[in-house]
Structure 1
Amino acid sequence: MVIKKTDKGYILDVSLGYDPVAQKQRRIKKKNIKTKAEAEHLQSYYKQQYFQNNLVTNLKVTFDQIGDKYFANYTVDQKLTYVRTQKGYYNHRIMPHFTGSLISKLEKKDCIQFRDMLLNEDEKTRLSNNSINKHMILLKKLFDVAIDDNLILRNPCTGIKKLKVVKQKMKFWTTAEFRCFIEAIDEKDHVDKVFFTTAYLTGMRAGEMLALQWEDIDFGRNEIHVSKTMSRVGGENIVTTPKSTNSNRYITINAKLAKMLKGWKDRQEALLKSYLITDLKDITVFQYSINTPIRECFGTKKITKICKVAGLTPIRLHDFRHSHVALLIDNHEEITVIKERMGHASITTTIDTYGHLFPNKQKSMSDKFDNIF
């Protein structure tokens, strides 16, 4: 901070270092200060504000520059799948709406206007309330970057309430419906039978199953070690750690499922050798051709096709996970056991997601009141 005397008074020149976003020096310059004492007072004030991280500079930084910095510096520790989703939100809707805007000029009303724009999109393209909320969360994170850079003092997204999200009715199959589904699978598609049976009897996520390798299955203990997940990013299969720390877990399997997996292992070896694949060390459990299978190989189209033969109402692949929890609850398993088996981060997640499936205890409780009279 420098104080200079001129014919018109004093000049206070505050240098805050180089800003990589704007690619110029950050400065605050005040001219025509009447007295040296006033200049020194301002100098002391700016110094205090600077150390308290409350000093806003007048750099003309655009929203686009903040977006570039966020994805370059603030997502380095995030999973590729998460970054891909965030970039989708940003590139398709957030950036086109705010592009070219000066970050210092954007206000709360601009953020509300963006949210309202999403709400009023055409019915065919309109996002769900849950997706709109996720766009607003990312928008708030972008403004947090501007706060970190002392470009704004307050986040204009603060105080904007989340949209109400109505939970969709959970779909799941009973054991009778699942048996009907499995019996409708043609024997030439045996891998489908093994895949969907494993999904129903373990509750594993689709990505966890696709990343599964034979070394992850301990047939001596009838146990599966879930230690990774597979996602599709930029047309490539990417294997990463599971969704959360708790998702890294061991799942016990029943004897019949273990026998089915062993049988498939033998069939798979013969099948892949017919494709001249002899090195089976790195193949995945459900691979049945030269290419590693992706989610779509066992997704909605496949399930719908089988359901048409079976005369069933189709469910999503993820609903096999819900069906497994319903099966566990029907077998009176403890909620703590269900939480560990599903790999939930907390028991709150298990209760919030599946609490409505547990038997209603209120009736038996209120029936006891009859004994009072």
Structure 2
Amino acid sequence: MSYYADLFMDSKRQTTVPRTHERYLSIIKHSILPVFGDSPIRELKVSNVEKWRNDLLKRFTAKTVKEYQIVLRGIFQKALHDEEIGKNPIDALDSLKVKKPHVVPFMPYEVKLILDTAQGWFKNYLALGFMTGMRVGEIVALKWENVNLKKREIYVCASRIEGVEGTTKTQSSIRYIPIIDTLVPFLEAQKKLSGDKEYVFVNQYGEVFYDYKTIGANQWKSILKECKLDHRRMYEMRHTCATNLLMSGQYSVNEIASILGHTTPQMLFERYTRNISAERKPFNKTIDIYGVAGMAL
């Protein structure tokens, strides 16, 4: 197993971003090799793999276990290509049902309350999140060189998670985001606070944040408590932006998908259909889509 685990990691070194590679390495080191490392890969059966998965499901969510399973499948696939095994045991397992996260966007009055209550750099951080729909990892990785106040646009090309900075989540996530009028004062205020620092947002020591989780555990949790709002993920800033852009009826679905970094509008339709303004209007029963009114006998 160890031999093919190494082969798998070597093959992924050039095809995955650094943080994903580190994640795979951690999964192998802590959850795969301790169980299967001493066993010849040809001797592992479906029942062995199923027990491994069931044990993980007692500790982690189905979404997390599915990620672990992807890594193990990749290792077995290397052995399959070598004809060391005749089939991939993972393929025999039932698919895990992963629950989609429940989207709970903030209402406009809640956003206003939060921005009225927040202070300093965190106020500007929140404004950026609510008004651009950027992912939280993208916000902490944002550098001033990628903020163009003259052209009124932000170039999103990086993300920062668990201390590792790399490219964005997907290729389509590399994008330009327009800076709306109401966001300009917040960015100007932040520029005065951060001065000549490389990153838009820095910690109390003037250094880039390790990742967004520190902000989520401290400032974000505190602001919701101070505003007496139910706890929601900081990621809901992105969903709030998407929802309100859709409800405004001022932008096409393709435009909004581009701002959010989606390749196609499919994700918008899957998550936000109920918030698209056209979907919320009463169905017009009088429209004659074919121009055949009065033609019936």
Q: Same fold (TM over 0.5)?
A: yes
**1:283: which partner in 2?**
198
Q: Contact 1:197 / 1:257 at 8 angstroms: preserved in 2?
A: yes
**1:82: which partner in 2?**
20
**1:342: which partner in 2?**
260
For residues 164 and 74 of structure 1, the distance between their equivalents in structure 2, rounded to whole angstroms, comes to 26
The structure 2 residue matched to 1:139, chosen from 66, 72, 87, is 72
The structure 2 residue matched to 1:305, chosen from 208, 218, 222, is 222
Percent identity, please.
23
Q: Which amino acid aligns with 1:68?
A: D
* Cα distance change on mapping 1:355 and 1:161 into 2, 3 Å: farther
**1:225: which partner in 2?**
155
For residues 299 and 336 of structure 1, the distance between their equivalents in structure 2, rounded to whole angstroms, comes to 30
* Cα distance change on mapping 1:142 and 1:315 into 2, 3 Å: same
Matched, 1:365 2:267: no
**1:159: which partner in 2?**
92
**1:239: which partner in 2?**
165
**1:352: which partner in 2?**
270
- Secondary structure of the residue aligned to 2:55 is helix
Matched, 1:327 2:244: yes
Please identify which structure carries the higher helix content. 2
The structure 2 residue matched to 1:98, chosen from 36, 40, 54, is 36
* Cα distance change on mapping 1:148 and 1:75 into 2, 3 Å: farther
**1:30: which partner in 2?**
none
Unaligned runs of 5+ in 1: 1-62, 270-279
Q: C-alpha displacement at 1:363, in angstroms? A: 7.5
Q: Which amino acid aligns with 2:121?
A: V
Q: Contact 2:146 / 2:156 at 8 angstroms: preserved in 1?
A: yes
- Secondary structure of the residue aligned to 2:26 is helix
- Secondary structure of the residue aligned to 1:77 is coil
Within a 5 Å distance, the mapping from 1:36-115 to structure 2 comes to 63-115=1-53
Please identify which structure carries the higher strand content. 1
Q: C-alpha displacement at 1:118, in angstroms? A: 2.3
Q: Contact 1:300 / 1:316 at 8 angstroms: preserved in 2?
A: no
What do residues 261-315 of structure 1 show as CA deviations (whole Å, max 9, x unaligned)?
112212322xxxxxxxxxx3x6101125332123134213311211221111122
Q: Which amino acid aligns with 2:235?
A: H
What root-mean-square deviation, in Å, do the aligned CA atoms of Structure 1 and Structure 2 show? Answer: 2.4
The structure 1 residue matched to 2:185, chosen from 256, 259, 274, is 259
**1:31: which partner in 2?**
none
* Cα distance change on mapping 1:261 and 1:144 into 2, 3 Å: same
**2:294: which partner in 1?**
none
Specify which structure has the bigger relative contact order, considering alpha-carbon pairs within 8 angstroms and separated by 6 or more residues.
2
For residues 75 and 99 of structure 2, the distance between their equivalents in structure 1, rounded to whole angstroms, comes to 27
Within a 5 Å distance, the mapping from 1:118-129 to structure 2 comes to 118-119=56-57, 121=58, 126-129=59-62
Q: Contact 2:127 / 2:186 at 8 angstroms: preserved in 1?
A: no
* Cα distance change on mapping 1:240 and 1:354 into 2, 3 Å: same
Q: Contact 2:273 / 2:279 at 8 angstroms: preserved in 1?
A: no
Tell which structure's C-alpha radius of gyration is larger: 1
For residues 128 and 181 of structure 2, the distance between their equivalents in structure 1, rounded to whole angstroms, comes to 12
**2:232: which partner in 1?**
315
Q: Which amino acid aligns with 2:188?
A: K
Unaligned runs of 5+ in 2: 288-297
* Cα distance change on mapping 1:363 and 1:182 into 2, 3 Å: closer
Q: TM-score, normalized by length of structure 2?
A: 0.87
Q: C-alpha displacement at 1:92, in angstroms? A: 2.5
**1:59: which partner in 2?**
none
How many correspondences in the alignment?
Answer: 286
Q: Contact 1:300 / 1:317 at 8 angstroms: preserved in 2?
A: no
Q: TM-score, normalized by length of structure 1?
A: 0.70
